[in-house]
């Protein structure tokens, strides 16, 4: 999956995954060849879980916190230092975009570099750090922190890989950040914003039906108002999961800081069976079950 698509999926969770919480820090950099209204030629945004906590653009040229809990707990000098770093990144990305356009013989039109780096922390303290980037929506390079080398996605990226692999000092700094610095920052952020980031809000579920094609009936289970976003929603037939027969609309923000989702399944109403919507979420002491009919 290209990085561009991953950016569009920011904040989405696996609907049928487990309910143990995964916390994360993500930093996204985007540079475009043709900026426009609302699309500066360079921007950087940082997220803790699903919360935007910092941003920088080539228009405002200043790193600023985006949450009260981050602004309240971090010294203003930190944002001055990050602004200095962001301006250096901005100059570097400008040169990189020109280099890639020459490398791929792209002299005109809209082109974009996107990078994402950060770390994940699970409840059982499994830690992962990563860095990867893309050019025009296609994977370009990924950092292998074990070998401190770069993995190229195509022949064009091989040229950059060879140049970056010999930058031992830079690669050591990336490894140190991903393995030693990112998680402490994430832990501190989770403590600063614990009232938001570590809260648990119970979902509500409602089932409905509508006529479908060929005499079939579509069952729908609407689940709303839950936080965090990781949730498992399945239809059961006579107590057995019918996950392979269900269709999910994905997990979407509700607009009030919680999430919502829909899961549907087609059935033959002539076949007598008991259908129920089964919901698992970490806010629930036991699964929520809502029967149809």
Tokens of 49: 């879980």
Domains along the sequence of the chain with CATH: 3-197 (3.30.500.10), 204-291 (2.60.40.10)
Mean pLDDT of the chain: 90
Report how far residue 94's alpha carbon sits from residue 29's, in angstroms, rounded to the nearest whole number.
12
Q: Please identify which residue in the block is written with the tokens 């709303």.
A: 224
Indicate whether this model's pTM tops 0.85: no
Tokens of 35: 């900026």
Lowest mean pLDDT across 32-46, 60-74, 156-170: 32-46
Strand partners, 233: 279
Q: What is the DSSP string of 51-120?
A: EEEEEEETTT---EE-SHHHHHHS-HHHHHHHHHHHHHHHHHHHHHHHHHHHHTT--SS--EEEEEEEEE
Report how far residue 205's alpha carbon sits from residue 220's, in angstroms, rounded to the nearest whole number.
10
Cis amide leading into 228 (omega within 30): yes
The answer to whether 233 touches 261, Cβ cutoff 8 Å, is yes
Report how far residue 280's alpha carbon sits from residue 288's, in angstroms, rounded to the nearest whole number.
7
Report how far residue 235's alpha carbon sits from residue 107's, in angstroms, rounded to the nearest whole number.
52
- The pLDDT of residue 126: 65
pLDDT tens by residue, 176-205: 999 999 999 999 999 999 999 999 999 999
- The pLDDT of residue 19: 47
Q: Is 143 exposed, middle or buried (0-12, 13-18, 19+ CB in 10 A)?
A: buried
pLDDT tens by residue, 89-139: 999 999 999 999 988 988 788 999 999 999 998 877 767 899 999 999 999
- The pLDDT of residue 244: 85
- The pLDDT of residue 18: 46
pLDDT tens by residue, 223-275: 999 999 999 999 999 999 998 888 998 999 999 999 999 999 999 999 999 99
Q: What mean pLDDT is predicted for residues 7-21? A: 42
Task: Identify the band that residue 2 occupies on the pLDDT scale cut at 50, 70 and 90.
Answer: very low
Cα R_g (the chain), whole angstroms: 23
What is the helix (H) or strand (E) element at residue 149, kind and residue range? Answer: strand 149-152
- The pLDDT of residue 124: 72
> Quick one: what percent of the chain has pLDDT higher than 90?
79
Residue 17 clears pLDDT 60, i.e. is over it: no
The answer to whether 152 touches 163, Cβ cutoff 8 Å, is no
Report how far residue 175's alpha carbon sits from residue 144's, in angstroms, rounded to the nearest whole number.
9
Q: Could you give phi then psi for residue 251, rounded to 5 degrees?
A: -105, 125
Q: What mean pLDDT is predicted for residues 52-67? A: 95
- The pLDDT of residue 20: 56
Tokens of 268: 């033959």
Q: What mean pLDDT is predicted for residues 6-29? A: 59
pLDDT tens by residue, 268-290: 999 999 999 999 999 999 999 99
Report how far residue 293's alpha carbon sits from residue 275's, in angstroms, rounded to the nearest whole number.
8
pLDDT tens by residue, 129-159: 999 999 999 999 999 999 999 999 999 899 9
> Quick one: what percent of the chain has pLDDT higher than 70?
92
Tokens of 3: 């990085």
């Amino acid at each position: 999956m290209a990085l561009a698509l991953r950016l569009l999926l920011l904040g989405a969770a696996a609907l049928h995954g487990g309910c143990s919480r995964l916390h994360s820090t993500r930093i996204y950099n985007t540079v475009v060849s043709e900026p426009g209204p609302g699309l500066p030629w360079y921007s950087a945004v940082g997220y803790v879980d699903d919360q935007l906590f910092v941003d920088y653009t080539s228009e405002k040229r200043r790193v600023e916190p985006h949450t009260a809990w981050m602004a309240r707990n971090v010294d203003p000098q930190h944002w001055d230092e990050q602004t200095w770093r962001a301006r250096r990144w901005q100059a570097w990305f400008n040169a990189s975009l020109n280099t890639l356009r020459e490398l791929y013989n792209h002299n005109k039109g809209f082109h974009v570099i996107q990078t994402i780096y950060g770390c994940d922390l699970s409840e059982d303290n499994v830690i992962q750090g990563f860095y990867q980037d893309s050019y025009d929506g296609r994977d370009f390079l990924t950092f292998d922190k074990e070998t401190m080398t770069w993995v190229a996605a195509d022949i064009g990226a091989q040229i950059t890989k060879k140049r970056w692999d010999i930058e031992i000092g830079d690669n050591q700094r990336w490894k140190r950040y991903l393995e030693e610095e990112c998680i402490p920052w994430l832990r501190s952020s989770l403590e600063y914003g614990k009232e938001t980031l570590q809260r648990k809000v119970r979902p509500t579920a409602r089932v409905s039906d509508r006529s479908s094609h060929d005499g079939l009936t579509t069952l729908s289970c609407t689940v709303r108002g839950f936080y965090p976003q990781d949730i498992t929603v399945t239809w059961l037939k006579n107590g057995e999961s019918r996950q392979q027969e269900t269709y999910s609309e994905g997990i979407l923000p509700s607009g009030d800081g919680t999430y919502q989702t829909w899961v549907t399944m087609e059935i033959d109403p002539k076949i007598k069976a008991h259908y129920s919507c089964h919901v698992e979420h970490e806010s629930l002491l036991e699964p929520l079950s809502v029967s149809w009919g």
